[in-house]
Structure 1
């Protein structure tokens, strides 16, 4: 039995609303309400890097799984130790003592009071947004040439076609046979997604489905939602049929992105939000979606005023390896709305410039010497790095 639509919409709005009043209420709940916060230490047997997370609950769904993924190894072997912590201890920088790298998720106001030394202050989440014009030819031209040529070739070779739908039957097929299997096969025990009743009530009823057909089969799909402005479309859920690797290998899911951009340009969409990601250049979603020439933006939800404080607790080779392997995106303090990529390095570890950063409003990259960052006379964080490491 489907649940009460009003309840589903209220739950959806708590996380996803862009209404100023509701976002302020959510920030009060996450930042100003006196309470204790979850604190987790993550260990992987045989791996030297011990991760820690503390702060708002959203970080347990977004930040910590990403850090664990980037650490590598068998996800099923991860051991987490759970406790709680008061904000007064976090403000003194006194998170769990038994981790090497600590991430704290909190509001921007509180994050500004955290210690500067050996730390970075980053956005909690970023969105990748494609500005859309009515000229479909111009929109295709903005997609990377390599991606555009590969997609066009696959459409010809595999006789692909695109269709849209808003029917409940097609939604059931998308959710049960495409989206959920994809999430389970990609993320296993850490799978997270919107439940089916909420997706039907809050996404399908205010959006549309886009399918990629191969013959008589729908081999990939996306569920998008309009709003709050009528010319804004946000990609929310996606996947390939049965989560099968063969469809990934053929580029079925990747092909839906240029198809979605083309559809948007022809149907009055002027702002296409390709959804969010963590503020790391090494994030696979960022590397893939930057091919479609998006702007990097702060979310318009409560995440806009939340920050991620990343603190080095112990200077170890494993910590240095992690920082070098995972460059970050930080807002340029001299030019709000513009972003810069920060690449760590030291004498033994060159900056990982093989990871590209270029987007319309990611305007530069900076190299950060780990010896200065960890032991310099003046602390270097994302709040100061852009001026002090030139």
Structure 2
């Protein structure tokens, strides 16, 4: 039993642990186990770009499903996989049938990757809300959300339940979290296993339910980091995975109640979790309303990046780039919003980026980005320099 608990704890910390020691260990292990890059082709249907995800294997589960969803490309069942040498990735990208190549890499691999028509993104970003003394969390959301929240509170329809029994955990995990993951992500759903969630999050954290007219409708399982006085939202779910529970401000109310609880119980911050580095990501836009700071993750993803490279200038590629503004890194390693546009497609400025941790926004003309020297056609020449603000870690 003791061995099982140690194995469970060490596995959780390996995946989620923070600090220089664990990050350094990950880099050392990656240097040995990732001598060759994965190469996953996701061939699109007519009117969608052909994608390749290359590099570190975790991107197959953390990055590629989002890209496939946003481009309308094939699902996981239609992928083909192989492996490539890191030092051949630039040549492989130019010679492939891909329209877009997205490479997940440690910063030490950057010299092997395409430079032209490329952007460097963080592998993931985290969104963290700082709670100062006397913090009024309601001031973090829009006036419309505050008014709706107040109306519901006055009618006693919402109240926060702090739960702590094994039966409560089972109800949350089996009736809320897992049904929600299946409903939202289907075959690409990912989460912590039941035993790990119970031992490493529930037993070392807090379980909250938001009740509406007495009924549990939304839940959140959080881990507590006492040293940093941080509450980390790790798993969430709605009753039976029913999407109706996302409407009417209920989901927003859960987050506000949890933020209020954290402020009242001496927490210094609430980590709302991470997401892919795209302004168009629904998770980013939802959590942005609570005015978090966008930061590089504190775990092993801190030194990992995504390189987005355009291999062919096609209508589907241009449509994807315009519709999905990105969070890139500039030459000073600052997080920067990037909006693409061209003569036919305006920048998608209706997706806001402003929040703490984001340095600025850059609007890039696709004609200039894809043909910086006026030359055509693609595939690109690899001696063409990237945009001058682009980070090249």
**What is the aligned partner in structure 1 of residue 296 from structure 2?**
298
Deviation at 1:228, TM superposition (A): 6.3
**What is the aligned partner in structure 1 of residue 5 from structure 2?**
5
Tell me, what secondary structure is at the counterpart of 2:266? coil
Quickly say closer, same or farther: Cα 1:171–1:333, change in 2 above 3 A: same
Query: How large is the Cα RMSD of the aligned pairs?
Result: 2.3
Quickly say closer, same or farther: Cα 1:123–1:76, change in 2 above 3 A: closer
CA distance in 1, matches of 2:273, 2:107: 21
Higher alpha-carbon deviation: 264-273 or 143-152? 143-152
1:13-65 CA deviation, whole Å, 9 max, x = no partner?
Answer: 11111132222121222245463232111124334311110111110111101
Q: Residue 367 in 1 paired to residue 367 in 2?
A: no
CA distance in 1, matches of 2:116, 2:212: 54
CA distance in 2, matches of 1:47, 1:10: 45
CA distance in 1, matches of 2:134, 2:110: 43
CA distance in 2, matches of 1:76, 1:118: 26
Higher alpha-carbon deviation: 38-47 or 270-279? 38-47
Higher alpha-carbon deviation: 148-157 or 352-361? 148-157
Q: Residue 145 in 1 paired to residue 143 in 2?
A: yes
The answer on whether the counterparts of 2:279 and 2:324 sit within 8 Å (CA) in structure 1 is yes
**What is the aligned partner in structure 2 of residue 239 from structure 1?**
237
Quickly say closer, same or farther: Cα 1:269–1:319, change in 2 above 3 A: same
Unaligned runs of 5+ in 1: none
1:42-92 CA deviation, whole Å, 9 max, x = no partner?
Answer: 12433431111011111011110110111137x769621111112121255
CA distance in 1, matches of 2:30, 2:243: 39
Tell me, what secondary structure is at the counterpart of 1:299? coil
**What is the aligned partner in structure 2 of residue 379 from structure 1?**
385
1:131-161 CA deviation, whole Å, 9 max, x = no partner?
Answer: 1113143x32122322222333334456111
Higher alpha-carbon deviation: 33-42 or 12-21? 33-42
* Residue among 163, 166, 172 paired with 1:165: 163
**What is the aligned partner in structure 1 of residue 217 from structure 2?**
219
Tell me, what secondary structure is at the counterpart of 1:322? helix
Report the TM-score when normalising by structure 2.
Answer: 0.91
Higher alpha-carbon deviation: 64-73 or 268-277? 64-73
The answer on whether the counterparts of 1:121 and 1:308 sit within 8 Å (CA) in structure 2 is yes
Quickly say closer, same or farther: Cα 1:11–1:89, change in 2 above 3 A: same
Superposed counterparts of 1:168-207, under 5 Å:
168-207=166-205
Superposed counterparts of 1:106-145, under 5 Å:
106-137=105-136, 139-145=137-143
Aligned residues: 381
Quickly say closer, same or farther: Cα 1:96–1:40, change in 2 above 3 A: farther
Deviation at 1:347, TM superposition (A): 1.1
Deviation at 1:229, TM superposition (A): 2.6
Deviation at 1:385, TM superposition (A): 4.5
Higher alpha-carbon deviation: 13-22 or 304-313? 13-22
* Residue among 259, 276, 279 paired with 2:277: 279
